[in-house]
Amino acid sequence: MDKATLIGLMLGIGAVVGGQASEGGNIQSILQLTAAVIVFGGTFGAVFLSFPFREVIGAFRGIKKIIKEPPQDPYEIIRQITNYTNKARKEGILSLEKDVKSVDDPFLRKSLTMAVDGVEPNMIREVMEKELEYIDEHGKLSAKVFKSAGGYAPTIGILGAVLGLIHVMENLNDPTKLGAGIATAFVATVYGVGSANLLFLPISSKLDMRHRHEMIIKEMILEGIVSVSMGENPRLIEEKLISFLSEKQRSGQPMTTER
Amino acid sequence: MDKATLIGLMLGIGAVVGGQASEGGNIQSILQLTAAVIVFGGTFGAVFLSFPFREVIGAFRGIKKIIKEPPQDPYEIIRQITNYTNKARKEGILSLEKDVKSVDDPFLRKSLTMAVDGVEPNMIREVMEKELEYIDEHGKLSAKVFKSAGGYAPTIGILGAVLGLIHVMENLNDPTKLGAGIATAFVATVYGVGSANLLFLPISSKLDMRHRHEMIIKEMILEGIVSVSMGENPRLIEEKLISFLSEKQRSGQPMTTER
Amino acid sequence: MDKATLIGLMLGIGAVVGGQASEGGNIQSILQLTAAVIVFGGTFGAVFLSFPFREVIGAFRGIKKIIKEPPQDPYEIIRQITNYTNKARKEGILSLEKDVKSVDDPFLRKSLTMAVDGVEPNMIREVMEKELEYIDEHGKLSAKVFKSAGGYAPTIGILGAVLGLIHVMENLNDPTKLGAGIATAFVATVYGVGSANLLFLPISSKLDMRHRHEMIIKEMILEGIVSVSMGENPRLIEEKLISFLSEKQRSGQPMTTER
Amino acid sequence: MDKATLIGLMLGIGAVVGGQASEGGNIQSILQLTAAVIVFGGTFGAVFLSFPFREVIGAFRGIKKIIKEPPQDPYEIIRQITNYTNKARKEGILSLEKDVKSVDDPFLRKSLTMAVDGVEPNMIREVMEKELEYIDEHGKLSAKVFKSAGGYAPTIGILGAVLGLIHVMENLNDPTKLGAGIATAFVATVYGVGSANLLFLPISSKLDMRHRHEMIIKEMILEGIVSVSMGENPRLIEEKLISFLSEKQRSGQPMTTER
Amino acid sequence: MDKATLIGLMLGIGAVVGGQASEGGNIQSILQLTAAVIVFGGTFGAVFLSFPFREVIGAFRGIKKIIKEPPQDPYEIIRQITNYTNKARKEGILSLEKDVKSVDDPFLRKSLTMAVDGVEPNMIREVMEKELEYIDEHGKLSAKVFKSAGGYAPTIGILGAVLGLIHVMENLNDPTKLGAGIATAFVATVYGVGSANLLFLPISSKLDMRHRHEMIIKEMILEGIVSVSMGENPRLIEEKLISFLSEKQRSGQPMTTER
């Protein structure tokens, strides 16, 4: 479970709904079907028109990803690569052939296979960097889908508000409907601004952070496998890989090789 | 038929119009000729002033493109290039001369011709990458035309609203006209904000996605033909080309060569 | 005459003024000297403070440029360069010395002179690319001047509106002045938003398109002259140069060399 | 103590609170719990949803950093590196081995260790530049957290205001509540706009400036150590390092080596 | 005296104040201490919190710079460098040693010293380009300080307006205070929007233009000195240097060498 995702969701929505309730504001006065249809129908309409079907669906599947902790622990990867280095130096790089089969991560498997196949280090780097480029481009799309939803929602909220106000204006001669009508119209603004700022934009940002986290791990794998295939010193490799991590990630982590 | 384009258009416009109707809002109260003339006349005026004539027309023609599925299937291209590789390895690269004629895509034909003519792989890459650069620049213009329409429309909607309000203010001494007048003025805002967020900006985004899809296929073709002309291993070429695709595109696709 | 510039100007301003008139809105009610002084005086004040004198004047001179068709026809340039190639291959590159004098375009003349003087192709490319860089930087300034005017105008329009409203508020005890006063105040908004979206921003965009068009022709000239000085095949040169053009520019154009 | 941070905080908040008080505005009228819960709860909810837990906490710890003066004096570093150069030229680079232990800064220690270990200058540059890249990426995140808070706060302030207005509208038949109710609603706007512009965005900017200051010192260290390991002239090294500083930083600073 | 700076300041402020006055608007009604304290105190508080003390002061000192004409005439520099070339070709590069002392510009002096000292042209370029990079980064900060002031001022103006409106709402039962109170509240908006658009943002833009002007002269100096140290042809050097200037700068300038 990703702590920050959970805290963020509960704190954000809790604060707004709770703040509203504590003032004696009726929760029902911000539940309104028409406003929801206009704002969310309009926003998702705009999103589907903006992106390929498969990317919109993929973005929604991405939400699952940001609720769980990121599956790959960079220290686990560093340990794994340090093991490969030690083995390759003792028994030759061909000895890693059996290890390839037990690797789940497709990027690590592909790089390791090339190294075991004796592909030249520079060639491994070139091919895998090209692959990384496209993985990066495709991987950024989920965040982009939510960012675009976060861009459409507030303006469509305003559209809903204006439509509501038109309705109100047509009934101006019936002053009793005035206040409630305007209140109704404002709910669309609440939905648009609220969904964008408490959900869509933060989700987009978290998806971006996760994607970058995954990319850094892939860049670390690439650097590590290239170093393994060049037969570099295990301690140097470990030091190189640790430099991919932030200071916050490094603190309190045991080193894998003694010094 | 592009599913997402259709869903997007119907969901977006349906939600706004339907939401409005379900509240007893009169559809006629949001149909207003003057507002339409100001907002759409002003927006397209700004767009024509912004771009060359040929690009504005080209952008509108691009709408057809995003309603249909993208014509080029990347797997078809991969299959085709794998065939070329096999043939070139068995019968020599000159044997591809006949294949050139049956190629429709001008970019593939031009690259393949260079390879058959014996142009050096590095030279093919250099010439075709330069061509790609200009194709990319020209191809982005259609999305840019709609993006700029999506930027002008809401502000010109506000212009229309302010003009309407000026009109209202001049008739303030006739209070019966007040509400209806303001309602009229707001319709311009609805047109501006609605057309930008439900049409222009999403169409711009979809055109951008399509353009990038086409560019990736072209980049894949270039990589493939350069590899063919270097006489690389067919399985390796296929693997290289697949790395241009996203995971979502890869799933459920049969491989063309056995392993 | 640039069709799109003309259509854009007439459609944009016509739609807004016509729409206003068709509703019985008095044209005089949007003609107001004070608002014009504040909005246009303020905007041009901000623009002069933002840029060097010579650039502001240069930007206004640039308007002439976007009313006329772009003077250089890329196909004419391609034809010219193909002629140079043929001549250089038949009679030697020195034979182009006489052609240099009849060249009007300073960029083409300078490149051709270097080629005739026997400067090495790589050196020509390096020197002329550096020159292109600075031409690009200086040439973008006119569009930037209008873009900045388009940024200042709406906010200064709001400034004018607020100043107007302050005036209105001070006379609140005289209700007869209320409506007309507010109407007056709104005219500043109309001037700011209207001039930015119907004039300044579209003019900036068209100047940008023109500048890029000129740059592509210069890049084409550079590529062509370098190829001439390397003694490349005329047909290959022509094909290279055509790849600088968009598909829309290519259609319906006759080729200059038979195949 | 960082003078500008202190002046900024006191001047900004003092001006707004003092200005409000001087007009006879009751300070209590801008202290309102519900508005605070909605705006700050919503903003931090959005921020936690946007970033990993560890980065949000890290960003808040960063505030301490911008209250104190930056700990590293660039002139101190230049002096240190000039000393290393002199020693290395007199006693050989191995003589710096003892100095390594007394170095606190991890970046300087790592570079110096590589130089003492006899790693080739180009290799030191390559490894440490890669490390710098990731330090830069991770180090920018704290500023990004506050920038995103500064983006969410004003819109969530508007959300709070609209929720307040809905509440007001429901009690329209009780006119005595009207003014105070609207006032309450506006406090949310004050909190959102105020916290973003007087705290979050300026803190983000200062964190960015500090981060860049630290990066420049690291770039200076890297340049210096590479020069030391190449055995360059001490005076030239000093001149090189001084070129990393701005003119404002240079004035009034004594040179370390006589000329 | 920089004509455009002067015209800009007088036209911008004159138009707004004059327009206001011509309508019978009382100038005193837009002079209000509380609004000024909130808006300018808040803005400068935010700016001091955003930047190091030394940069804020440096930015204000920069205003002097944009009132005067830029001190360095590019043609003067070209003439100077052409003289160096001629002298170096006739009497050897060492003959320039005496000229070094009479050079005021530190960048020119440093480059020329390196050339006289016999440093290799490529090394001069590398060292001085690195220096240029940091000069560029530091030099952009003054414009950034004013740009950030121009970003804070309007939103803090809105903050002041909302605070004013809260005050008004609390006194709603005293209708005589209503209009004047709202007017007072609007003055904060005028200060925020006005100072940003008539002062801060244009000053930022002009500082940017000046900085770029100075950078181009430095790039020209670097190119020139490198060419001198390579013993290039004086006429070629002059032509190279002129290509750094815009067409507008070139017109009407006499050439220094006969052709």
Question: With 50 as the cut, is the pLDDT of residue C259 above it?
Answer: no
Contacts of A56 in chain B (CB under 8 A): 4
Using the Cβ of D47 and the Cβ atoms of chain A, whether some distance falls under 8 Å is answered with yes
Give the single-character DSSP code of C24. Answer: T
Question: With 70 as the cut, is the pLDDT of residue E253 above it?
Answer: no
Q: Inspect the interface and report whether the beta carbons of D50 and A249 lie closer than 8 Å.
A: no
What is the share, in percent, of chain A residues with pLDDT greater than 70? 92
Q: Answer for the pair C53, E210: CB distance below 8 angstroms, yes or no.
A: no
Angle at the Cα of B142 from the Cα atoms of B141 and B145, rounded to 5 degrees: 85
Q: How many residues comprise chain A? A: 259
Who's near B204: CB < 8 A, 6+ residues apart? B143, B144, B145, B146, B147, B149, B150
| Gap from E43 CA to chain D (nearest CA, Å) | 7
Question: With 50 as the cut, is the pLDDT of residue E259 above it?
Answer: no
Question: With 70 as the cut, is the pLDDT of residue E53 above it?
Answer: yes
Q: Answer for the pair C12, B41: CB distance below 8 angstroms, yes or no.
A: yes
- Alpha-carbon distances, residue E249 vs C110, C145, E227 (angstroms): 18, 17, 23
User: Tokens in use for C152?
Assistant: 């200042």
Contacts of A131 in chain B (CB under 8 A): 243
pLDDT average, residue stretch A100-116: 91
Question: With 90 as the cut, is the pLDDT of residue B44 above it?
Answer: yes
How many of the other CB atoms lie within 10 Å of CB of D75?
17
Find the distance separating the first CA and the last CA of chain A, reported in whole Å.
Answer: 35
Smallest CA-to-CA distance from E148 within E210, E196, E90, E96 is with: E196
Q: Inspect the interface and report whether the beta carbons of A8 and D152 lie closer than 8 Å.
A: no
Confidence grade of residue E51 (pLDDT, cut at 50, 70, 90): very high
Q: What are phi and psi of B231, to 5 degrees?
A: 65, 35
What is the share, in percent, of chain B residues with pLDDT greater than 90? 58
Q: Inspect the interface and report whether the beta carbons of D180 and E166 lie closer than 8 Å.
A: no
Model-level pTM? 0.92
Question: With 50 as the cut, is the pLDDT of residue B256 above it?
Answer: no
Using the Cβ of A27 and the Cβ atoms of chain D, whether some distance falls under 8 Å is answered with no
Q: Answer for the pair D215, D134: CB distance below 8 angstroms, yes or no.
A: no
Q: Answer for the pair B218, B129: CB distance below 8 angstroms, yes or no.
A: no
Specify the range with the lowest mean pLDDT, choosing from A19-23, A29-33, B197-201. Answer: A19-23
Residue E257's pLDDT is 45
3-state DSSP call for residue E2? coil
Q: How many residues comprise chain D? A: 259
Contacts of D141 in chain A (CB under 8 A): 246
pLDDT average, residue stretch B64-82: 88
Specify the range with the lowest mean pLDDT, choosing from A36-40, B169-173, C85-89. Answer: B169-173
Contacts of A190 in chain D (CB under 8 A): 159, 162-163, 166
Find the distance separating the first CA and the last CA of chain C, reported in whole Å.
Answer: 35
Q: Which of C45, C127, C164 sits opposite E198 (nearest CB)?
A: C45
Residue D213's pLDDT is 93
Question: With 50 as the cut, is the pLDDT of residue C132 above it?
Answer: yes
Residue C125's pLDDT is 94
3-state DSSP call for residue C133? helix
Question: With 60 as the cut, is the pLDDT of residue D259 above it?
Answer: no
Confidence grade of residue D25 (pLDDT, cut at 50, 70, 90): low
Better pLDDT: C171 or D87: D87
What is the share, in percent, of chain C residues with pLDDT greater than 70? 92
How many of the other CB atoms lie within 10 Å of CB of D176?
10
Q: Which of C189, C209, C244 sits opposite B162 (nearest CB)?
A: C189
Confidence grade of residue A215 (pLDDT, cut at 50, 70, 90): very high
Q: What are phi and psi of E253, to 5 degrees?
A: -100, 130
Q: Inspect the interface and report whether the beta carbons of D16 and E49 lie closer than 8 Å.
A: no
Give the single-character DSSP code of C220. Answer: H
Better pLDDT: C126 or A177: C126
- Reduce the secondary structure of chain D to three states and give it as a string: CCHHHHHHHHHHHHHHHHHHHHCCCCHHHHCCHHHHHHHHHHHHHHHHHHCCHHHHHHHHHHHHHHHCCCCCCHHHHHHHHHHHHHHHHHHCHHHHHHHHHCCCCHHHHHHHHHHHCCCCHHHHHHHHHHHHHHHHHHHCHHHHHHHHHHHHHHHHHHHHHHHHHHHHHHCCCCHHHHHHHHHHHHHHHHHHHHHHHHHHHHHHHHHHHHHHHHHHHHHHHHHHHHHHHCCCCHHHHHHHHHCCCCHHHHCCCCCCCCC
pLDDT average, residue stretch D60-89: 89
Smallest CA-to-CA distance from B186 within B76, B52, B34 is with: B34
Smallest CA-to-CA distance from C179 within A134, D139, B182, A53 is with: B182
Q: Answer for the pair D193, D157: CB distance below 8 angstroms, yes or no.
A: yes
Q: Answer for the pair E5, C38: CB distance below 8 angstroms, yes or no.
A: no
Q: How far is the C-alpha of C249 from the C-alpha of B53, rounded, in Å?
A: 12
Which residue type, as a one-letter code, is found at position B172? L
pLDDT average, residue stretch A89-97: 89
Confidence grade of residue A257 (pLDDT, cut at 50, 70, 90): very low
Q: Inspect the interface and report whether the beta carbons of B48 and C11 lie closer than 8 Å.
A: yes
A32, A63, A136, A193: best to mutate for the D interface, most D CBs within 10 A: A193
Q: How far is the C-alpha of C30 from the C-alpha of C19, rounded, in Å?
A: 13
User: Tokens in use for E83?
Assistant: 């003289």
CA dihedral C107, C111, C116, C119 (to 10 degrees): 150
Confidence grade of residue C21 (pLDDT, cut at 50, 70, 90): confident
Better pLDDT: E160 or A182: E160
Question: With 70 as the cut, is the pLDDT of residue C154 above it?
Answer: yes
User: Tokens in use for E227?
Assistant: 């060419």
Question: What chains are in contact with B, requiring at least 3 Cβ pairs below 8 Å?
Answer: A, C
pLDDT average, residue stretch C111-134: 92
Q: What is the mean pLDDT of chain A?
A: 88
Using the Cβ of C5 and the Cβ atoms of chain B, whether some distance falls under 8 Å is answered with yes
Tens-place pLDDT, residues E193-209: 999 999 999 999 999 99
Helices (H) and strands (E) in chain A, counts: 13, 0
Better pLDDT: B11 or D98: B11
Residue B144's pLDDT is 97
Q: Judging by beta carbons within 10 Å of its beta carbon (0-12, 13-18, 19+), is residue D174 exposed, middle or buried?
A: exposed
Question: With 80 as the cut, is the pLDDT of residue A204 above it?
Answer: yes
Question: With 90 as the cut, is the pLDDT of residue B176 above it?
Answer: no
Residue E69's pLDDT is 83
What is the share, in percent, of chain C residues with pLDDT greater than 90? 57
Using the Cβ of D18 and the Cβ atoms of chain E, whether some distance falls under 8 Å is answered with yes
Specify the range with the lowest mean pLDDT, choosing from A237-246, C250-259, E207-216. Answer: C250-259
* Residue C181 CA from chain centroid, whole number: 39
Residue B178's pLDDT is 67
Q: Answer for the pair D150, D204: CB distance below 8 angstroms, yes or no.
A: yes
Q: How far is the C-alpha of B113 from the C-alpha of B98, rounded, in Å?
A: 10
Residue C258's pLDDT is 38
Quick check: do A and B touch, 3+ CB pairs under 8 A? yes
Using the Cβ of B251 and the Cβ atoms of chain C, whether some distance falls under 8 Å is answered with no
pLDDT average, residue stretch E82-86: 91
Tens-place pLDDT, residues D156-203: 999 999 998 888 877 767 766 666 567 778 899 999 999 999 999 999
Tens-place pLDDT, residues C60-118: 999 998 998 888 888 889 999 999 999 998 898 888 988 898 898 999 999 999 999 98
Give the single-character DSSP code of C256. Answer: S
Q: Which of D58, D130, D172 sits opposite A178 (nearest CB)?
A: D172
Confidence grade of residue A177 (pLDDT, cut at 50, 70, 90): low
Who's near B239: CB < 8 A, 6+ residues apart? none
Q: How far is the C-alpha of C66 from the C-alpha of B49, rounded, in Å?
A: 9
Tens-place pLDDT, residues C41-59: 999 999 999 999 999 999 9
Residue A63's pLDDT is 92
Confidence grade of residue C255 (pLDDT, cut at 50, 70, 90): very low
Query: String of b and e for E126-137 (b: at least 16 CB within 10 Å)?
Result: ebbeebbebbee
Q: Inspect the interface and report whether the beta carbons of A243 and D134 lie closer than 8 Å.
A: yes
Residue A154's pLDDT is 97
Confidence grade of residue B251 (pLDDT, cut at 50, 70, 90): low
Question: With 50 as the cut, is the pLDDT of residue A165 above it?
Answer: yes
Q: Judging by beta carbons within 10 Å of its beta carbon (0-12, 13-18, 19+), is residue D244 exposed, middle or buried?
A: buried
Q: Answer for the pair C42, C154: CB distance below 8 angstroms, yes or no.
A: no
